[in-house]
Structure 1
Amino acid sequence: MQKTFLRQALVALSLLGVAVPLSIPSAQAQTYSAALQSKTNAAFQQWLQNDLWSQAQQRGISRSVFDQSLSGVQLNWKLPDLVPPGTKPQTPKQQTQSEFGSPGNYFRKGTVDSVVSNGKAKLNAHKSLLAKIERDFGVPAGIVVAVWGRESAFGTVKIPYNGFEVLATKAFMATRKDMFRAELLAALEIVQKGYMDSAHLKSSWAGALGQPQFMPTSYLKHAVDYDGDGRRDIWNSVPDTLASIAAYLQHFGWQKGRDWGFEVNVPQNVSCSLEGPDQGKTFKDWTALGITRVNGKAFPAQEMAQESFLLMPAGRHGPAFIVTPNFYVLKNYNMSDLYALFIGHVSDRMSYGAGGFQQGWGDVGGLYRSDVAAMQKRLQKQGYDVGKPDGLAGFKTRRSIGIWQAKNGQPATCFPDKALVKAIR
């Protein structure tokens, strides 16, 4: 799904069990002159009635739905990432100098414990509903509830914005306005098809809808009317919300009957550079390399011939996992290894009473993202595939670091640190 990093950070605050509005961070808002705002507002209204209406009409949107949905909609100048016509994108200093921290920050004990506790209560309260959803979609109840908790604190987070205002503003003058134009047209289609009326189409400030935080295009593909009232109400209906999450994961290939993954011990003679979804091995092969589960149990017999993948989100500085393709289905919900790991970990703790990670997260971080990005660019120049040099250590960056370290006679840690940033030149 298309979500911004900042929205993810705000939702993370809600995991403490407190309803936190998905408000706009003040540090991201830009100040524009009254003259520029007045000129742009007039151009926006012309754009709505000319360009957008023409595209909406081609999509089968009626004039009445168009007018009803967009009547009174004004530009929201408080939204981040805006580029008014005739101006250039502004890059706040915070974006370049933001901290690159330890992955362990994503799994603070108080946060995880709160989500697990509340999630167990939800599993019990909606036991029969979740059992039916699991039969229909093949996705375990714990996974569905963990996503629900992660996205909207089980529906307690306030979703305050007029979705059409947010989407129209971003479609007219955001850094990714073409993408948001498609989302705005999809929102109009939602109303046109009678799935939800325009007055109730509330979103986050990033344009994500309802408790599952679907963008409108995802809503059209995955939202489900599971309570049979004729509406796909992911704002107020628990059955619709939970079934829609399950439908999303089913669509992206959730394999019924398989787990998401297992925490493991990785011997020192097994390179951390073997990580990644493009370097799969069977569980039997990983076992032959000496990789074992941290709890001492054998891998499930039915998994031994199945493909799986090494995941080391902090390199040698944190826990390691052998994950199944279901892990990468979770990652489709939000393109982050840590997000998918959070969902799987919380689900295990809610559903099976599993404990915390047995391997601790190391004391890593303390860098700026700009430092990491510069290191990534230097690795790229040397022929390493680091993915996008964005200052975040994804699996391609991690394993490239490990390969560089091994080639240069250093122990492979597969994770950036201050010494490494200085050494890679």
Structure 2
Amino acid sequence: MGQVPSMPPVRRTGFISILLAFLCALPLVAGAAADPGFEKWKKEFRKTAMKEGITAETFDRAFKGIDSPDQWVLDKASYQPEFKAPAWQYFDNRITKYAVKRGRAKKQELKPWLDKIQKQSGVNPNILLAIWSMESSFGAILDNQTVMRSVIRSLATLAYADPKRKKFGRSQLLAALKILQSGDIDESHLTGSWAGAMGHTQFIPTSYQAYAVDMDGDGKRDIWNSVPDALATAANLLKKNGWRSGETWGYEVTIPERKLPAGKLKISEWEKLGVKRVNGKQFPRPNDIAELKVPAGRKGPAFLMLKNFFVIKRYNNSDRYAAAVGILADQIGGASPLTKDWKRPFTKLDQDEVIELQTKLKEKGFYDGEIDGKAGGGTRKAILKFEEEAGVELQGFPSKEVLELLRKQ
């Protein structure tokens, strides 16, 4: 991964404006507007809820003070990014030095609970810690009132005003009302994402109903305030979806130049085709069924994915998500970084350098986001602004080249 060949400076105001909007268009939180239609919908939905066993007291308590949809939720629901983040950006922002360090610290801090959960479910604690990191940054997101809203209002907004998610909103809202009625959580703490994902491990209400566990024995399945409950709930989901205890999620491998078949084969069959473990070790179970995955194409890391990889996808149906959970889990457990790095069109920064980059961009007035060492859309937008003012090629990459340029100014 060397420097990108130099090119003539690009100065196109129209282009940069459009690209910046694509990279980091953040929806504004609109104030609540009077909506008589919402009140009418609420009265009708109250009848539906009562037919489903929700008491009038529960419904009225849940909706107290909610007299309009949340425009912020609708903005989030309708926002469609113009491009998919490249593999390097997805993995760099999730498998970080901070996440590994925090995961190892939490592993020591919660060892008695993690041992109990593993005994009960068979799930490797490192996987649970990686999910916790991915879903809520070890609970840090729960304190962010900008993104954690009333689950009742968010789901009511989707059920009332979002044609694409109306059915989802109704079913999840009914489930949320049942959670409230059960006494596991009160209405003031029933918070979640714009789509109703709740707690440390971000469960939607119906998944909560199916998998929630009272691990700490206080009589409540509290994934918002009890880390043992939240991690046990995640473990229960994996267990009930076929987690294989004592087995890994996948192996980093090297692949031959020739074309390989798609689909699933026995590991022994992959070996005959020239697929090998990067560390030179033998595969422990040659008869395991595996599928070859190359998240960034053949020039990036390659993996043979096993049953547990596909179980992780029941948590979030994304190859990138499941791979990131597995890789982060391995590193929390002491494994080295991947042998083959993600293909990038620039020289990578480590997390401390990204923090320095964000700090310098903020000092120069280009960046107003959080200094967190994660180069997301806001950071890339700021880099583009800086590059435009500096008169260099517009790329928006969190690169050593950009950091060196910032250091010189």
Structure 2 length as normaliser, TM-score? Answer: 0.73
Indicate how the Cα distance of structure 1 residues 110 and 236 shifts in structure 2: closer, same or farther if over 3 A, else same: closer
Indicate how the Cα distance of structure 1 residues 47 and 109 shifts in structure 2: closer, same or farther if over 3 A, else same: closer
Determine if contact 1:148/1:154 at 8 Å carries over to the other structure.
yes
Determine if contact 1:102/1:364 at 8 Å carries over to the other structure.
no
Match of 2:65 among 72, 77, 86: 72
Aligned residues: 318
Distance 2:320 2:51 in 1: 40
Distance 1:164 1:214 in 2: 14
Shift of 1:124: 0.7
Equivalence for 2:169: 180
Equivalence for 1:342: 324
**Structure 2 unmatched ranges of 5 or more:** 1-23, 347-409
Indicate how the Cα distance of structure 1 residues 102 and 364 shifts in structure 2: closer, same or farther if over 3 A, else same: farther
Distance 1:229 1:28 in 2: 39
Distance 1:321 1:184 in 2: 39
Q: Say whether residues 1:46 and 2:28 are aligned partners.
A: no
Q: Say whether residues 1:168 and 2:156 are aligned partners.
A: yes
Equivalence for 2:311: 329
Distance 1:53 1:159 in 2: 30
Equivalence for 2:343: 362
Indicate how the Cα distance of structure 1 residues 235 and 109 shifts in structure 2: closer, same or farther if over 3 A, else same: closer
Q: Deviations over 1:346-365 (max 9, x none)?
A: 111111x2111111222479
Match of 2:258 among 269, 288, 297: 269
Shift of 1:29: 4.6
SS of equivalent residue, structure 2 residue 251: strand
Q: Deviations over 1:19-58 (max 9, x none)?
A: xxxxxx87335979x9xx43xx2111111112x1121112
Q: Deviations over 1:349-401 (max 9, x none)?
A: 111x2111111222479xxxxxxxxxxxxxxxxxxxxxxxxxxxxxxxxxxxx
Structure 1 length as normaliser, TM-score? Answer: 0.70
Distance 1:132 1:315 in 2: 39
Shift of 1:59: 1.1
Determine if contact 1:159/1:210 at 8 Å carries over to the other structure.
no
Q: Say whether residues 1:192 and 2:186 are aligned partners.
A: no
Q: Deviations over 1:243-274 (max 9, x none)?
A: 01101111221111211000000111242xx3
Q: Say whether residues 1:61 and 2:50 are aligned partners.
A: no
SS of equivalent residue, structure 1 residue 79: helix
Written as runs of structure 1 = structure 2, the 5 A alignment for 1:28-39 is 28-29=27-28, 37-38=33-34
Percent of matched pairs sharing the same residue: 38
Distance 1:269 1:55 in 2: 59
Equivalence for 1:214: 203
Distance 1:315 1:44 in 2: 48
SS of equivalent residue, structure 2 residue 290: strand
Distance 2:331 2:86 in 1: 22
Which letter does structure 1 place at the counterpart of 2:111?
K
Match of 2:298 among 308, 316, 320: 316
**Structure 1 unmatched ranges of 5 or more:** 1-24, 84-88, 366-425
Distance 2:144 2:123 in 1: 26
Shift of 1:77: 3.7
SS of equivalent residue, structure 2 residue 26: helix
